Structure 1
Amino acid sequence: MNYRQTMLQALIAFCGERGLDNAKITALSGFSIAQLMNGSRFDISDQQVENLWKNIVQFSKDELIGLHFGATMQLAALNIVGQIIQTSSTVKDALLQVRSMMHVVTDLYTMEIELGPKTCVIQYLKNIGFDHFQMTQRQFGDFLIAFTIYELKGLLLKNLKPTKVGLPSFQKDRYMDYEIILKCPIGKAEHYTVEFPREYLDFPIITANYEVQTLLINQMNKLQNPNELTGALSKRIFNYLLANSYLYSLSIEAVAGNFNVSVRTLQRKLKDEGASYVQIVEEVRKSLAVHYMQNSNSSIKEISTILGYAEPSAFVRAFKKWTGKTPTEYRTAGL
């Protein structure tokens, strides 16, 4: 498998979800979508990838689109990470394997892990010879930071809070944008870095979450664009929350940041469509709850946690409101 090709395919899919014209963007970048999807041959050059990032930033009008992409990219979609997760028992095991395999994902960065008495720092160091691909470097660096933080949260089923994040391309006027997505202090650093408490290294990985992510990705098209929502933006937000459901219920601030609009603008546009953010979150939870009960062997406790419920009892009450049955009754009846 060509993991770089998989990464670009996921990027193009992400752009499509944001309403961008992928055929036009790829054509202007010097290749076609057919070339990108070719399973037997991948011949897209580094310069064409650089052109792609430039065009995506231009057409999306989002200078932080790499950061937003990293916050939405699921580990199950990048099969190499899934393989690592399935053969790791702790966060430390997984990180060490990721470090050794970074070169199959990108030539731009090398991953290093620096251990202190109480902290662990993940560093992404720029490799020599790629400085002429500045847009790709910056966007992919932002991607790696967001992807690292969000996937650690998903693997642990805990609200991981990094101590701080360092960015070599840090801009003070975009501080709040980074903070909303990464949810930790941001500062300038020589390299892209994520620092978190060392104790996280020994935490066991929750493989059930990876399994439901894989299940969701394989059947995503069946759940997208629900009839209950009629507006274009409402459905796009539903699909976005659906794809990132393993990260608990995302805040409206995080979603607005991902769509490159203010919270007030997002709320106004949803109101114009006769919808609200709370309503969309509820529809996502309902769709996923039924889907997981029908298609997975995960326990009720695991499903309730993945869907963002503090207690299984709250999930049971919600599920009964949606279906008229408790999760156990629903599963026993084979519905």
Structure 2
Amino acid sequence: MKELVNNIIAYAVQRDVNAAQLCKLSGIPSTYLKNPNSAPLTHQQLHHLWKNAAHLANDPLFSLHMGESLRASALGIVGHIIQSSATVGEALTHAAALVHLFTDQASMSLRQDKNSTHITLLPATKQQSSNDLGSLMELLLVITIHELDGLMLKKIVPQSVFLPYKVSDPEEYERVLRCRPVKSSGKYGLTIPGPLWDEPILTANYELQELFLKKIKRLAKPAARTSTLQTRIYNYLLANAYLGVSSLDDIAANFNVSPRSLQRQLKKEGFTFQQIADEVKRSLAEQYISSGNFELKDISWMLGYNEPSAFSRAFKRWTGKAPGHYQEAG
């Protein structure tokens, strides 16, 4: 529970929300975050925390966007699961058993048939209303999709996503969940097509994820009220770059502004989005090449280039050197 609360508040701070004000409005004691022995929040306090965070961030889809921002955390979970799993089915089974470490309000059930894998999220107790857990369940759905991304090292597109209510912004839900959700009475879940269950987990995944996590850990903790928009976008792109650098539209949606408004704010700071994205790609490319663990074609793919030649041209533009010469010089 505490990890979940910490993540909610941390993401709210990234969205320019004052943590002290958020806690006060939600009835959370000022000592809660600093005291490791603090009593767990009540379900009502957690509900108010979600509601107030969305209100103060001016983002009705706060939980959905938070799920996107937690890719780094999801990768950390995946890294531990991979060490004891040989297939995606085993990894999902272990993940379902570990949900309680993240929250005590929900559980996960799995069902696999010949053509697809079905993942359902349920309230932990019958006394809880599934609708009251909407923010939490949406967060878990997004994290689950990203967790599968980490296991497979490719973007997973659900065949269907189920929510027990009609969403207010179906286009944005479709962007984040990669599938437009349908209303299903009392049900949160998703269906992944294909024979996913017996898919082997590539042994290189864990090494790759460790590389990302080491990079992320070296980032300064974001101070939303003192950092520039450029810095916040750079940190977000870097922390979420394990399957390519996010687009301008994706970043604008996560920051709850229009692409044009985001570009306008960046222009005031003397930057463009493309400049920031290129700097992130350069930083990651230099680390991948210096590690000596990846072939050029793999680095190209991880950074979102369809052809190694396109990546080589971009890298030479950034550094003045071809990737091979850069590695030799290092």
Give the alignment's TM-score, normalised by structure 2.
0.86
Q: Distance in 2 between matches of 1:91 and 1:77?
A: 15
Change (3 A) 1:106 1:261: same
The one of 166, 169, 173 aligned to 2:165: 169
In structure 2, what is the equivalent of residue 89 of structure 1?
Answer: 86
How many residues are treated as equivalent by the alignment? 323
Q: Compared with structure 1, are the counterparts of its residues 8 and 146 closer, same or farther at alpha carbon in structure 2 (3 Å cutoff)?
A: same
Separation in 2, partners of 1:107, 1:296: 42
**In 2, distance between residues paired with 1:80 and 1:139?**
20
1:221: which partner in 2?
A: 220
- Alpha-carbon separation, structure 1, partners of 2:281 and 2:11: 21
Q: What letter corresponds to residue 107 of structure 1 in structure 2? A: D
Unmatched tracts of structure 1, length 5 or more:
226-230
- Residue 107 of structure 2 aligns to a residue whose secondary structure is strand
Counterpart Cα distance in 1 of 2:55 and 2:166: 20
**TM-score, with normalisation over the residues of structure 1?**
0.85
One-letter code aligned to 1:189: S
In terms of fraction of residues, the more helix-rich structure is 1
How far off its partner does 1:244 sit? 0.6
**What is the match of residue 72 of structure 1?**
69
Q: CA deviation at 1:32?
A: 5.1
Partner of 1:266: 262
Q: Alpha carbons of 1:198 and 1:133: their partners in 2 closer, same or farther (altered >3 Å)?
A: closer
Shifted more, 177-186 versus 306-315: the winner is 306-315
Aligned to 2:209: 210
Q: State the alpha-carbon separation in 1 of the partners of residues 130 and 17 from structure 2.
A: 23
State the secondary structure of the residue aligned to 2:56: helix
Give the superposition deviation at 1:34: 5.2
C-alpha distance in 1, partners of 2:265/2:257? 10
Aligned-partner Cα distance in 2 for 1:91–1:198: 12
- Alignment match, 2:98: 101
1:246-303 Cα shifts (integer Å, max 9, x gaps): 1312232222221122333333333444433222211211122224444674444443
* Structure 1 pair 312–260 and aligned structure 2 pair: CA distance change class (3 A): same
2:152 is aligned with 1:180: no
Is contact 1:208-1:298 (8 Å) kept? no
Q: Is residue 89–residue 197 contact of structure 2 (8 Å, CA) maintained in 1? A: yes
Aligned to 1:194, what secondary structure does the other structure show?
Answer: strand
Give, in whole Å, the separation in 2 of the partners of 1:37 and 1:313: 50
Would the aligned equivalents of 2:66 and 2:139 in 1 still touch at CA under 8 Å?
yes
* Equivalent pair of 1:75/1:151 in contact (CA under 8 Å): no
What is the CA distance between 1:48 and its match in structure 2? Answer: 2.9
Give 5+ residue unaligned stretches, structure 2.
Answer: none
Percent of residue pairs identical: 38
CA distance in 1, matches of 2:61, 2:91: 27
